[in-house]
Amino acid sequence: MRAALLLATAAALAPIQRTRRRTAPLQSSVVDAANPRSVGLALELDDGTRKVHSVAENTQFVTGFFRGLGSSDAFAALSTSFYYVYEAMERQMDETTSPTLKALDYPALRRLPGLERDMEFYYGADWRTAKPRPSAATLEYVKQIEAVGAGPEPELLVGHLYSRYLGDLFGGQMMSGMAVKSLGDSVGDDAGGLSFYAFDAIPNTKAFITEWYETLNGLDLDDAQRAAIVDEANVVFRLNIAIFDELEGNPLKSFLSVALKSLKEKLFG
- Tell me, what CATH number does 104's domain have? 1.20.910.10
Question: Using one digit for the tens of pLDDT, what is the confidence trace for 67-111?
Answer: 555 667 777 888 999 999 999 999 999 999 999 999 999 999 999
Query: Quick check: is 3 in a domain?
Result: no
- Spatial CB neighbours of 178, under 8 Å, sequence gap ≥ 6: 3, 65, 66, 68
Domain assignment of residue 5, yes or no:
no
Q: State the pLDDT at residue 112.
A: 97
pLDDT of the residue at 84: 98
Q: For residue 58, what pLDDT is reported?
A: 58
30 domain-assigned:
no
Note the pLDDT of residue 59.
Answer: 58
pLDDT for res 128: 94
pTM across the whole model: 0.77
pLDDT value of position 189 = 52
Q: Does residue 12 lie within any of the structural domains?
A: no
Domain carrying residue 241: 38-268
Q: Is 8 among the domain residues? A: no
Overall number of domains in the chain: 1
CB-based contact 238:10 (threshold 8 Å): yes
pLDDT digits (tens, 9 = 90+) for 24-46: 344 433 444 578 989 999 999 99
Cα(269)–Cα(266) distance, integer angstroms: 6
With a cut of 70, list the residues of the chain below it in pLDDT: 1-33, 52-71, 172-192, 248-269
